[in-house]
Amino acid sequence: MPPARPAPSKPTVSTASGSVSQSILRAQTAEAKKGVVQRIPDGFPEAVTVLFIIARSDSGPAPKHMLELVRSLKETGFRILIASPVNPPFAFEYKKQADHFVNIPNRDFSLKALWRLRRAIRKNKVNLIHSHGRTGGVYSRLLGLMTGAAVVHTFHGVQVENSFDGIIKLWVDKFLSNLKFDPIFFSKTEQERALEKRIVRADREAAIIEESVNLSRFPKRKIANLAFAKVIASNPETFKKIRVGALLRQENRRSFESFLKLAKDCAPFAQFTCAGVTRLALAQKGTIPDSLEVVGPVADHIEWMYSLDVLVNTSPSEAPMIDSLEAMAAGTICVMSDIPSHAPFEQQHAALLFDPKSPETFRKAVAKVRDDLAFREMILGNSRYMVERLHDTDTFRMKLMDVYRQGVKRALGLVL
């Protein structure tokens, strides 16, 4: 009869002084469940805890961009902290996505919030800070100086105000440009303007990463629902069924007047609608035509975007492109103001440009796609292809991860 096998012993972890106690093992397991023990993302020298900072959580391209960014990074192995105000609609989503959330004032710098963020960085062992927008950039670069964490800052436009407060803000921006950080711009023209205003140093390497769209949220339109499907060339009355929309932003109020003039002068030519701002805010810039539909602020405007035949962008200067990119992904024709950052889309036959001060140039642009089916299909096909090739979230994430890797390695002294 074979001898009985000895009972298997419980696994132990050997150390210099013997096995680790079960209580320590339980503590380590609890830490792992809490996310304290992290896997190291591909290509990084160590585990990464990143703090995202943005000083606004209301409707706007910057808060929305950051939410999409955080969502796309969830599977990379990062531990994520978010600092933002608690205003709707994005604060609730930020809290859902974050491992830890820090409340900061809305669009305002606070020393109290700065020290609160410093404590959160120390407590959570944050080694990378990524800020968005002007106020977020003030926090991040000061925190990088105080804690030694790597800092990445995304410029959401380059704002220069001709007022005393504007002069002070510009001076602060120039001072912060001397601190260590990796700048990100959405376009070359935006970077050139930042260099001109001296809010980023010429010897600092900057990344140009175009804005991105999560194409999984934008299925291709069916042929029956393509733009201008209800227009009959032989019946001019049907031209009024063309639905033209603008997504207006409070931070880009200079575009309001041009849009109101367009909606008034072109009322017999199309139906006009706008979303993003209240009727009261729009009325401060001019008389609202009776025929104009004012939808107001919307948290998720994708359904509204799909209802349009044309999205018009009347911005007179550099502004975020995310709204136009989403319209292109939704199969909506984009007619955009003739400014440098919009030129590549016209060059690729993915959009049409017009002079925001001249409604006649807008009418001609819309008539061109209305009356020429082949031209219209070319614009729609090229715009979708351009978004898929250059502005997809996966492409954006890969470029951003390269910036993150370099920043973390530089903070550790691994990059000279």
So what's the pLDDT on residue 222?
60
Distances (CA, A) of 276 to 67, 88, 279, 324: 17, 14, 10, 14
Q: What are 286-293's contacts with CB under 8 Å, separation 24+?
A: 286/256, 286/257, 286/260, 286/261, 287/260, 288/260, 289/260, 289/263, 289/264, 291/263, 291/267, 292/260, 292/263
Residue 364: in which H helix or E strand, if any? helix 359-371
Q: Range with the lowest mean pLDDT among 52-56, 303-307, 308-312, 362-366?
A: 303-307
So what's the pLDDT on residue 12?
40
Q: What is the rounded average pLDDT of the residues 325-348?
A: 92
Cα angle 128, 132, 135 (rounded to 5 degrees) comes to 105
Q: What is the rounded average pLDDT of the residues 288-314?
A: 89
* pLDDT band with cut points at 50, 70 and 90 for residue 251: confident
CA torsion angle 150 156 160 165 (round to 10): -70
Residue 17 reports pLDDT greater than 70: no
Distances (CA, A) of 137 to 155, 181, 206, 228: 8, 10, 15, 43
So what's the pLDDT on residue 225?
61
φ, ψ (nearest 5 deg) of residue 84: -160, 170
Longest CA pairwise span in the chain (Å): 103
Q: Where are the domains of the chain?
A: 37-212+394-411, 215-391
Domain boundaries 37-212+394-411, CATH class: alpha beta
**Cα(384)–Cα(381) distance, rounded to whole angstroms?**
5
CA torsion angle 381 384 388 392 (round to 10): 170
So what's the pLDDT on residue 226?
64
Beta bridge partners of 81: 51, 100
Phi/psi region, residue 226 (left: phi>0; alpha: psi -120 to 50; beta: rest), is beta
Phi/psi region, residue 167 (left: phi>0; alpha: psi -120 to 50; beta: rest), is alpha
- What CATH topology corresponds to 215-391? Rossmann fold (3.40.50)
Residue 395 reports pLDDT greater than 60: yes
Which residue's entry shows tokens 């397991």? Answer: 29
Q: Which structure tokens are listed for 71?
A: 């969502």
CA torsion angle 19 22 27 29 (round to 10): 90
CB 379 within 8 A of CB 327: no
**Cα(404)–Cα(47) distance, rounded to whole angstroms?**
12
Q: Burial-class residue 389 by CB neighbours within 10 Å (0-12, 13-18, 19+).
A: exposed
CA torsion angle 322 262 344 301 (round to 10): 20
Q: Which structure tokens are listed for 224?
A: 């029956």
Q: Range with the lowest mean pLDDT among 60-64, 97-101, 183-187, 325-329?
A: 60-64
So what's the pLDDT on residue 320?
75
Q: Write the DSSP symbol of residue 392.
A: B
CB 53 within 8 A of CB 83: yes
- Torsion 169-170-175-177 (CA) sign: positive
Q: Range with the lowest mean pLDDT among 23-37, 135-149, 349-363?
A: 23-37
Q: Which structure tokens are listed for 408?
A: 């973390």
So what's the pLDDT on residue 154?
96
**Cα(104)–Cα(235) distance, rounded to whole angstroms?**
56
CB 84 within 8 A of CB 100: no
The reply to whether 37-212+394-411 and 215-391 are identical in fold is yes
* pLDDT band with cut points at 50, 70 and 90 for residue 21: very low
Q: What is the rounded average pLDDT of the residues 83-93?
A: 93
Residue 15 reports pLDDT greater than 50: no
Q: Which structure tokens are listed for 371?
A: 């009356």
pLDDT tens-place string over residues 339-374: 888 999 999 999 999 998 899 999 999 999 888 889
**Cα(312)–Cα(300) distance, rounded to whole angstroms?**
18
